[in-house]
Amino acid sequence: MRLLWALLAVFAVLFSLVTANQLQSGRAIRDVETLVGFGARVSGSTNLEVAAKFLQSEYQKVGLKTEIELFSFERLRDFGSSVTAGSQKLAADTLYSSQISDIEGLAVRVPNFGSKEDYQNLSVKARVVLVKRGGIPFLEKARAAQAAGAIAVVIVNSVPGRLSANLLGDFAIPVVAVSGADGTPLLEQVAKNAVRLRVIADVRRTSITGRNVVARGSDAAPKLILGAHFDSVPGSPGANDNASGTAAILEMARRLPASLRAQIWFVSFDAEEDGLLGSSAFVQNLPTATLDGLKAMLNFDMVAVNNKISVGGSSSLTKLIRGIQPNIGEFQDFAGSDHASFLAESVPAVFFWRGFEPNYHLPSDSKVDAVLLEETISLGLETVQKLLGQ
């Protein structure tokens, strides 16, 4: 009988541990689903305000002090951009940081996805280039086209619908996007015949109020900052980009002991999709002494779709993380997420990322992989504990 009771006691403990782990792993995925349920979280929108209040409430439940840090910026609002080929006028969307212009020239179709190498045997000087979406970031497409001498860039969406996106940089030439439904026939037409295109980027500046959600473990200056952007692009509910990273740092706040939380600030950045503006404003508002006292900034962006997680950023941090997970991937950091704002101020920073995936910046970015999300959370927790010596 004693043996039976002992076995029952062990079973009860194991069952409680399994149940607790299931509850923990389920919270983060539910947070992703909640954020996705708000719809596209574009900076300045009602959806984003609702998401900010939700995050603030969840961090308060953990016992953290929270605030909404407001900042202002200007965005280019599209008032009817277009691409015209002969008598055919196509609706277009100007990428946020592009220049206002009305320009005309012969069109050239760029092979592949418009990387620098794709222009090596192609003459595009004083031409309008057409390039397919995908393969590389929009910023890289625009830089390659401008460097090759193009006067305008037309990006053809990879799906039938239209595309709203941000260049994360300013250019002297217009960069616009057309829908896949309109752009695919145009690509075929340009490949066969000489086509003259008129590109109108009809955009004007509007003032936007951004909102960073800051959760503090104590009133003391932090040793670590864990960050993730919670805004998304227009038309996308942003599950992987970046409800995944947002949910990951929230769940880490829940699981970390109070002694470690007291040394950390958890920051959900706004306006990353507008050019890392939330993290830039946050860094600019920090006292120099606080910046100097930071051991590291850990940034989580697109961390729950694709198989292998990778890191980029400060070599000291990527080396430390490789010691935790020897088979982790590494990538050449392209400063395309919020850690870049900290690196610019000489703060050691690392970017956790699973790479670009088919639903990036699309309406179909609506689900994530719970197992991959849990793996990211576990790696983040181990990294924090290593950095803080516990």
Q: What is the mean pLDDT of each run of 10 residues along the chain (390 residues)?
A: 51 42 75 98 97 98 98 87 94 78 94 94 95 89 94 93 75 90 94 93 89 96 98 94 98 97 98 94 97 97 95 97 96 91 97 93 94 98 93
Q: Is residue 252 part of a domain?
A: yes
63 lies in the same domain as 92: no
Q: What is the pLDDT of residues 225-249, one digit of tens each?
A: 999 999 999 889 999 999 999 999 9
pLDDT in tens, 60-82: 999 999 999 999 998 878 889 99
Phi, psi values for residue 95, rounded to 5°: -65, 140
* Whether 171 and 141 share a structural domain: yes
Last residue of a domain, one of 201, 220, 255: 201
Whether residue 178 is found in the same domain as residue 218: no
230 and 159 in a common domain: no
What amino acid occupies position 291?
L
pLDDT of residue 15: 43
Q: Are residues 92 and 71 in the same domain?
A: no
Torsion of CA 361, 362, 363, 368, to 10 degrees: -70
Distance CA 43, CA 211 (A): 8
**Domain limits at 242?**
31-75+207-387
Structural domain includes residue 19:
no
Radius of gyration (Cα) for the chain, nearest Å? 23
Tally the domains of the chain: 2
- List beta partners, residue 216: 65, 265
CATH code of the domain containing 256: 3.40.630.10
Q: Are residues 356 and 231 in the same domain?
A: yes
- Residues 273, 376 within the same domain: yes
Note whether 84 and 65 are same-domain residues: no
Q: Is 121 helix (H, G, I), strand (E, B) or coil?
A: coil
Residue 25 domain flag: no
Task: Say if residues 35 and 247 touch (Cβ distance below 8 Å).
Answer: yes
In angstroms, the CA 89 to CA 91 distance is 7
Task: Give the Cα separation of 148 and 289 in Å (integer).
Answer: 44
d(CA 223, CA 220): 9
Which of 243, 219, 240, 221 is closest to 230 using CA atoms?
A: 243
Domain stop point among 201, 224, 244:
201
Short-list 338, 308, 360, CA closest to 138: 360
What confidence score (pLDDT) does residue 49 get? 98
Task: Name beta bridge partners: 215.
Answer: 66, 266
Q: What is the pLDDT of residue 365?
A: 96
Domain identity same for 185 and 275 = no
- With respect to residue 222, please indicate whether it lies within any of the assigned structural domains: yes
What is the rounded distance in angstroms from the CA atom of residue 250 to the CA atom of residue 264? Answer: 12
| pTM given for the model | 0.79
Q: Are residues 248 and 375 in the same domain?
A: yes
Does 247 lie in the same domain as 160?
Answer: no
Domain end call among 181, 201, 221: 201
Query: Cβ distance 229 to 242 under 8 Å?
Result: yes
Rounded alpha-carbon distances, angstroms, from residue 116 to 45, 304, 331 = 36, 30, 19
**Same domain flag for 368 and 308:** yes
